[in-house]
Amino acid sequence: MVDPLMLKLGEERSAIRELFEYGSARKREIGEDNVFDFSIGNPSVPAPACVREEIARLLTEMPPETLHGYSSAPGLPEVRRAVAQYIETAFGVPMSASLVYMTCGASASLVAALSAILQEGEEVIVPAPFFPEYAVFVRTAGGKLLPVPTDKSFHLDLTAIERAIGSRTRAVLVNSPNNPTGAVYGEGEMRALGELLRRKSAQFGAPIYLVADEPYRELTYGAKPVYPMAVYENTLVLYSFSKSLSLAGERIGYIAVSPRCARAEEVFAAVCGAGRAHGYVCAPTLFQRVVSACLGEVSDVEVYRANRDLLYTSLSDMGYACTVPEGAFYLFVKALEEDAKAFAERAKAHELLLVPSDSFGVRGYVRISYCVPRRTIERSLPAFRALMDDYAR
């Protein structure tokens, strides 16, 4: 016998992964260029030069037994110091190396942070639509995910959040720039969220944590997201270099617990415990070193901006309804029928791979990942037109 929940998770792949696997098989059948694979958020822009340069330098200058050996469980001390220093300088908030935990990307950050703060049955509020794996990570941590709607431009609906907060609420999980909508929460709404959490924490006599999942922080098209620690004290920032440095396969990121957090050392110790319990100690050491030399560097966002502009303008001109993304590399488009899964199936007939919104916690949309080569977008446009024509008949 195996654990039934784990069996279910393993057998039912996520909608995104399912489509990604379908796309790989379909490309083998009809050729790479004939499938318009918008399924997964795999960065299409190469990592900045500093990444390769640092890898080359480390490989030539460091003895392999040191380079590839274990680090301390929360990471190399000099890397944790560099991350803390970077947060202080870039965002103007106090940070301490002793509250930085290096992890294997945002996924591990989420599992470890949520496991650290949640007790069985406690609730995590998340604005919907949201990254589907949140449901898995919150459940793994013993919690209960409570989606609340966003407003019509996919920004925070503070009234809905306030209504959802109760005595079992332990955290609000936000993701800005957002996957799947591209919304970037403004400073005003983040400050108002901080104020609300402060008030509700006082009312219920226990901290309600702000958990900020930030793998897209630098990928914006003009918007400058406020640093969550600057607006609220009980904050954990979860960061990943998967998207900003195009290192998705290298599994590297960190958790930063705000020094202003109530009992910050205890929260951090629980993060260490969760990292230990889930086997996330000692994030990949080569890449700990690489990212610490590349803090503040970003892959070329202008490539994503050009993709966004082409896709948004072309689809809007054809009559598709979508909101212009302010960040990340996803376009969230209204499906042409109520059932987004049925719509995505019809899109597949035109070799368009679009993720239906159901697993993002809302109905009636599809997500397009535009972190693809530009020619994929150019070549896909007739297929989008043909799909629209299908519904015009």
- Residues at the site binding ligand PLP, with contacts judged by CB under 6 A: 41, 105-107, 131, 175, 179, 213, 215, 240, 242, 248, 253
What's the burial of 64, exposed, middle or buried (CB within 10 Å: 0-12/13-18/19+)? Answer: exposed
Alpha helices in the chain (DSSP H): 4-11, 15-30, 49-61, 64-67, 77-91, 105-117, 133-140, 158-164, 187-204, 228-231, 264-277, 285-293, 301-318, 340-348, 374-392
Which H helix or E strand runs over 172?
A: strand 169-174
Using DSSP bridges, classify how beta strands 330-334 and 365-369 pair: parallel, antiparallel or unpaired. Answer: antiparallel
- CB atoms near residue 346 (< 10 Å): 18
Least separation in angstroms between CB 10 and ligand PLP: 18
CA distance 259 to 36: 46
Which H helix or E strand runs over 36?
A: strand 36-37
CA distance 368 to 355: 7
Query: Taking Cα atoms as reference points, which of 380, 351, 383 lies closest to residue 23?
Result: 351
Asked whether 381 and 350 are in contact (CB, 8 A), the reply is no
Asked whether 109 and 253 are in contact (CB, 8 A), the reply is yes
Q: Which residues contact 22 (CB under 8 A, 6 or more apart)?
A: 39, 348, 353
- CB atoms near residue 342 (< 10 Å): 13
Residue matched to tokens 């270099």? 241
Peptide bond into 4 cis (omega under 30): no
CA distance 168 to 121: 8
Q: Supply 362's token pair.
A: 């809302």
CA distance 28 to 176: 35
